[in-house]
A and B are shown apart, each in its own frame.
Chain A
């Protein structure tokens, strides 16, 4: 539980942080909230020569409104997201997913940007980011660019972030008035998701006009359950409709197998949980 030796830098500006990363090359690690990185360091599963702490860059933290977008700084801890009025009003699915992350201590330290950049397929923020069409704002040596969530996640712990790139903020379109639910299944109350399903529905006059369904831990990255979405649109949000649509939940997935759950059991869970999430969202 003693990490290998590393240098630690805490730059005060984004430019300094990018420079520090550039200088260290592929041997640097960014620390945001540290909730995933520190165990990895202590178990010596990673031994970076430099750890760059983004905690000194004030502009990376906070939540603001920007026209039709809600913008969340990458270093904003879960706890702040949970309490934020803009999130409560426009991004209920995000709040619902954040509320299921680990325990209160972790939620005070862990950050949205850290979780997304870490890209653990069992993490609870990827699927909501996908469902909510998040845009990842990335600053690197070549300047700043924006990547859609759908293009951001590229595999197991793998994203569109380059070696000296920093995820600075996450821009969400407003999903005001959408009905949402995040249904999480785990072995213990504070564990990672075995499978989870995030659902956002736009319901007009009892009919589902738009449907977005995201899956956590059903592949090497967060996935959209498009067949479920298609089956829901234009339907009434009844139990039968939910069940029939949820039957498609495992289509196109590549669920992992581990000691807690084999792939076929995860597929089954995805179907059951999707049905429940749709009904819970529809209320």
Chain B
């Protein structure tokens, strides 16, 4: 036997399933969460919140609270109004009107239960909390506006300056947008209604209101020192926050330092400039003392922004042979009482991705944004895309039922074929790549689709009390927010680029600065892997710095599954610049022409010779600069700002086997298979973790979560006892796999993974529930599909005589 000695090739870091280097400190909590920060002389703020959803403040008496032990000051809206300005909305969608002023502290009127009406500052958090109860106030209740359709009647108008509760009706029409030619969706649907060879299916359902439920409560620490103001905040957006504080409060940006230390989750819930940040800054500045505010969980659930909350009317038209001819969305979206950073834009994100994986020759989407007396809504994992994906994937199943078709066959008939990419969808997005066939084939095999269909048949035949349903969701989404020019064209108040910098330290170690600050995603590990590969240095030699505007001066932060496709690309481009610079130095040191220098695996070599020098040696030579090429800057440090040319489009096929106990209505998720195509993968372990967490949240929308308001506008399930979140004990072991169709729009070939699981899974579950009980005559069950709702749906269908 002979063995051949292979040349030692370094293991590629990209693609390696490394465990996360940040986890030890995050899991043990031995790190800097904002609430762990304590400064000399620091005071504690606590908020007094309105229990009334809609009312006029007729009196606030803080005299007793001021006498409470440890209390330093109490402020009301009247005290702070001249300085508080208004909270920013970066994307109002409507150019015709001015958004209602979003005050951080109410002055004379409250518009949702949970709105701040006074701020107590005391020496300890406990004393501040005690004094909250001593603030006396009267709020004269006004009629609360809770229901979306009721809000549209303008029976009671919340913001009198607008004169209506309706903010905007945003229409997208594929013909007007130039995305399709031929008749419009309205025309196609009207014609199809009178065409015996066509079918039109219309359904109306709700997207319930959800609470982001991040693990770490929000916290803010403000330290005014000299002219400098330092703000620590548990936020996803330290850079955006810094700029917004400059714009809204008029604080000089160069005197402002914002730090997002380790942040314990956000899911979009910390993609916000919050009233408590503004108020903590205002009171710290007034008192010239450091002040901390940390929310309680009860506060968090009523005051942190919520997500979803839409009434969706969805229409699909098709030929009787199953060919889709038009899709139409008519969504009413609940803004809540005020606009947050992206509130009115969130539903509209769904407009472009609405046609999903399908070839619709006509498409229309109309979004009506409405104010109510509830907690403001804004981005929540997926932001607009879960809503649109639910609508299209549910209506395709309804159409399949009407046509008597296998829902997967119907999808295959209408989806964009692998050979048809790049493909411009009816929403005007150009999908660069995709292979729905490959992902679906793999998913069907892992799932045993045919076997489960047989079992379903058998259970139906035997009238088994436990019925089986198969839920399908073939989805795509838009990630990598976002090309700046496109954002500008859509009226957004910001660009979509991302920044990175690389600092080469004299000893050969590397500092990577990223504007995309992680709040649990594992950037430190993934970015280190990228840089280790690109510079040929050991993984352990790379440190990733982020989240502090003094260290990382530029960034557009973390949301919209943008970090890797945009921020990761900036890191790659930056590393390329380092190598480019180092090549000049290496050529000089090796006494060779730059064009003869090759770089691989951390070593510069002269082509065709054994002469070479390591990158660490080049770095040290640069540090010394004793022997350096003429006219070259003695630094390898580089920075790069990357603006994507397009979104990226992950896709995948998700399949759920759902058992419904028809005697109790209980839904049991027996098996979940997903095959996602997120392009190339930097760290498969992190990617899988994102999928798992995303699935849990999407499944939770389908089966567990709902923020419930009573008629008075009180959030009735405002604790984690009542707001039902599933745990690992409620979910099966997910069967996950991937296909890899690299994105063509970035050098890593990556697409983004943070939201995929959430976007895809909700319709898969609800489709599965319906598939289990449709033969009993049930056409829809509102989310969350609780046992009681499912049971009642079966009872009602039985009373109406079962399946028609």
Q: Which residues of A contact B (CB under 8 A)?
A: 1-2, 4-5, 39, 43-44, 103, 185, 187-191, 194, 259-262, 265, 268-269, 272-273
The answer to whether B721 touches A187 (Cβ under 8 A) is no
Indicate which residue in B704, B719, B788 contacts A188 across the interface (CB closer than 8 Å): B704
In the complex, residue of chain B having the shortest beta-carbon distance to the beta carbon of A258: B722
The answer to whether B786 touches A187 (Cβ under 8 A) is yes
Min CB–CB distance A73 → chain B (angstroms): 28
Known: A43-B298, A259-B716. A4 touches B729 (CB 8 A): no
Q: Knowing A2-B296, A43-B298, A265-B788 are in contact, say whether A190-B727 is a contact too (CB < 8 A).
A: yes
**Interface membership of B208, Cβ < 8 A:** no
Given A187-B787, A188-B730, A265-B788, the answer on whether A1 and B721 have CB atoms closer than 8 Å is no
> Is the pair A1, B126 in contact by a Cβ cutoff of 8 Å?
no
**Interchain Cβ contacts under 8 Å between A and B, 25 examples:** A2-B125, A2-B129, A4-B130, A5-B126, A5-B130, A44-B133, A103-B729, A185-B664, A185-B666, A185-B787, A187-B704, A187-B724, A187-B786, A188-B704, A188-B724, A188-B727, A188-B729, A189-B729, A190-B727, A190-B729, A259-B716, A261-B787, A265-B791, A268-B664, A268-B791
Find A1's partner among B297, B725, B786 (CB 8 Å cutoff).
Answer: B297
Q: Do A262 and B788 contact each other (CB < 8 Å), given the known contacts A4-B130, A39-B721, A272-B663?
A: yes
CB-based A-B contact count at 8 angstroms: 55
Chain B residue at smallest Cβ distance from A39: B721
How many residues of chain B get a CB closer than 8 Å to chain A's CBs?
Answer: 29
Q: Given A259-B708, A259-B716, A268-B791, A188–B296 Cβ distance below 8 Å?
A: no
Q: When the two chains form their complex, are residues B788 and A261 in contact, meaning their CB atoms are under 8 A apart?
A: yes
The answer, yes or no, to whether B726 is at the interface (CB within 8 Å) is yes
Chain A residues closer than 8 Å to B663, beta-carbon distance: 272
Within 8 A of A (CB), among B727-767: 727, 729-730
Encoded as 1 (CB less than 8 Å from any A CB) or 0, chain B from 654 to 671 comes to 000000000110100000
Q: Most chain-B CB neighbours within 10 Å: which of A1, A190, A260, A261? A: A1
Complex Cα distance A261/B787, Å?
9
* Given A1-B296, A2-B296, A261-B788: A191 touches B724 (CB 8 Å cut-off): yes
Question: What A residues does B788 contact at CB under 8 A?
Answer: 260-262, 265
Name the residue in A191, A194, A259 with the highest tally of chain B Cβ atoms < 10 Å from its Cβ: A259
**Residue B717 CB within 8 A of the other chain:** yes
Among residues of A, the one whose C-beta sits closest to the C-beta of B716 is A259
Q: B125 contacts which chain A residues (CB < 8 A)?
A: 2
A contact face: mostly helix, strand, loop, or mixed: loop
* Docked-complex contact B722 and A259, CB < 8 angstroms: yes
Q: Does B319 contact A (CB under 8 A)?
A: no
Among B756-804, those with CB < 8 Å from A are 786-788, 791-792
**Cβ of A188 and Cβ of B130 under 8 Å apart?**
no
Q: Which residue of B lies closest to A195 (CB)?
A: B664
User: How far, in angstroms, from A103 to B727 measured CA to CA in the complex?
Assistant: 10
Q: Quick check: B717 and A259 within 8 Å, CB to CB?
A: yes
Closest to B729 in A: A189
Q: Which residue of A is nearest B721, CB measured?
A: A39
Contacts of B133 in A (CB 8 A): 44
Contact flag A272-B664 (CB < 8 Å), given A190-B729, A262-B788, A265-B791: yes
Q: Which residues of B contact A39 (CB under 8 A)?
A: 721
Instruction: Tell me how far the C-beta of B398 lies from the nearest C-beta in chain A, rounded to whole angstroms.
Output: 27
Binding site for A on B (CB under 8 A): 125-126, 129-130, 133, 296-298, 663-664, 666, 704, 708, 716-717, 719, 721-722, 724-727, 729-730, 786-788, 791-792
CB neighbours (8 Å) of A261 from chain B are: 787-788
A194 CB contacts on chain B under 8 angstroms: 787
Interface of B is mostly: loop
Contacts of A5 in B (CB 8 A): 126, 130
Q: A191-B724, A268-B664 are in contact. List 20 more A-B contacts (CB 8 A).
A: A1-B298, A5-B126, A39-B721, A103-B729, A185-B666, A185-B787, A187-B704, A187-B786, A188-B724, A188-B725, A189-B727, A190-B727, A190-B729, A259-B717, A260-B786, A261-B787, A261-B788, A265-B791, A268-B791, A272-B664
Contacts of B126 in A (CB 8 A): 2, 5
A269 CA to B725 CA, complexed, in Å:
22
Kindly state the separation between the CA atoms of A202 and B727 in the bound complex, as whole angstroms.
Answer: 37
CA of A268 to CA of B661 in the docked complex: distance in angstroms? 13
A189 to chain B, nearest CB (A): 4
Nearest chain A CB to B709's CB is how many angstroms away?
11
Cross-chain contact B730 with A189 (CB below 8 angstroms): yes
B residues less than 8 Å from A260 (CB atoms):
786, 788
Residues of chain B within 8 A (CB-CB) of A2 are 125-126, 129, 296
CB contacts (< 8 Å) of A265 on chain B: these are 788, 791-792
User: Nearest residue in A to B665 (C-beta to C-beta)?
Assistant: A265
Question: CA of A1 to CA of B299 in the docked complex: distance in angstroms?
Answer: 9
**Complex contacts, B666 vs chain A, CB 8 Å:** 185
Q: Which residue of B lies closest to A276 (CB)?
A: B663
Identify the 8 closest CB pairs spanning chains A and B, nearest first: A189-B729, A1-B296, A2-B129, A272-B663, A265-B788, A189-B730, A2-B126, A188-B730
Contacts of B727 in A (CB 8 A): 103, 188-190
Residue numbers in A under 8 Å from B716 (CB-CB)? 259
- In the complex, what residue of chain B is closest to A259 when comparing beta carbons? B708
Task: State the Cβ distance, A97 to closest chain B Cβ, in Å.
Answer: 17
C-alpha gap A227/B757 in the complex (Å): 49
Q: How far is the CA of A2 from the CA of B125 in the complex (A)?
A: 8
Q: How far is the CA of A1 from the CA of B791 in the complex (A)?
A: 37
Query: For A43, what are the chain B residues with a Cβ–Cβ distance below 8 Å?
Result: 298, 719
Closest Cβ neighbor of B726 among chain A residues: A188
CA distance A138 to B256 in the complex (A): 63
Nearest CB of chain A from residue B342's CB, rounded to whole Å: 29
Question: Closest CB-CB distance, A240 to chain B, in whole Å?
Answer: 15
Per the bound structure, the CA–CA distance linking A251 and B296 in Å amounts to 43
Q: How far is the CA of A43 from the CA of B299 in the complex (A)?
A: 11
Roughly how many angstroms separate A48 CA and B786 CA in the complex, as a whole number?
A: 37
Q: How far is the CB of B43 from chain A (nearest CB, A)?
A: 15
In the assembled complex, the CB of B296 is this many whole angstroms from the nearest CB of chain A, namely 4
**C-alpha gap A49/B33 in the complex (Å):** 33
**Which residues of chain B are near A189, meaning CB under 8 Å?**
727, 729-730
A262 (CB) vs chain B CBs: closest residue = B788
Closest chain B residue to A42, Cβ basis: B296
> A44 to chain B: which residues have CB within 8 Å?
133
Which partner residue on chain A sits nearest B661 by CB separation? A272
Of B125, B717, B787, most buried by chain A (CB within 10 Å of CB) is B787
In the bound complex, how far is the Cα of B786 from the Cα of A52, in angstroms? 40
Q: Return B769 CB to nearest CB of chain A, in Å.
A: 15
The residue of chain B having its C-beta at the shortest distance from the C-beta of A4 within the complex is B130
Chain A residue, CB-CB nearest to B124: A2
Q: A1-B296, A2-B125, A260-B788 are in contact. Are A269 and B721 (CB under 8 A)?
A: no
CB proximity of A110 to chain B, nearest CB, Å: 15
Q: Nearest residue in A to B710 (C-beta to C-beta)?
A: A259
Q: How far is the CB of B127 from chain A (nearest CB, A)?
A: 9
Could you tell me the distance between the alpha carbons of A190 and B708 in the complex, rounded to whole angstroms?
A: 21
Of the listed residues B664, B722, B724, the one surrounded by the most CB atoms of chain A closer than 10 A to its CB is B664
Q: What's the nearest-Cβ distance from chain B to residue A17, in Å? A: 27
How many Å lie between the Cα of A272 and that of B730 in the bound state? 22
* Interfacial chain A residues near B792, Cβ < 8 Å: 265
Residues of B near A187 (CB, < 8 A) are 704, 724, 786-787
Q: Which residues of A lie under 8 Å from residue B704 when comparing CB positions? A: 187-188
Tell me how far the C-beta of A166 lies from the nearest C-beta in chain B, rounded to whole angstroms. 27
When chains A and B are docked, how far (Å) is the Cα of A191 from the Cα of B791? Answer: 20
Shortest Cβ distance from residue B599 to the other chain A in the assembled complex, whole angstroms: 53
CB distance from B494 to the nearest CB of A (A): 35
Residue of B nearest to A191 (CB): B724
CB distance from B214 to the nearest CB of A (A): 15
Rounded to whole angstroms, the CA-CA distance of A194 and B787 in the bound complex is 11
- In the complex, chain A residues whose CB is within 8 Å of the CB of B730: 188-189
Complex Cα gap A168–B133 (Å): 37
A200 to B190: give the CA distance in the assembly, Å: 64
For A271, the closest partner residue in chain B by CB is B663
B717: chain A residues within 8 A (beta carbon):
259
Residues from chain B with Cβ under 8 Å of A190 in the complex = 727, 729
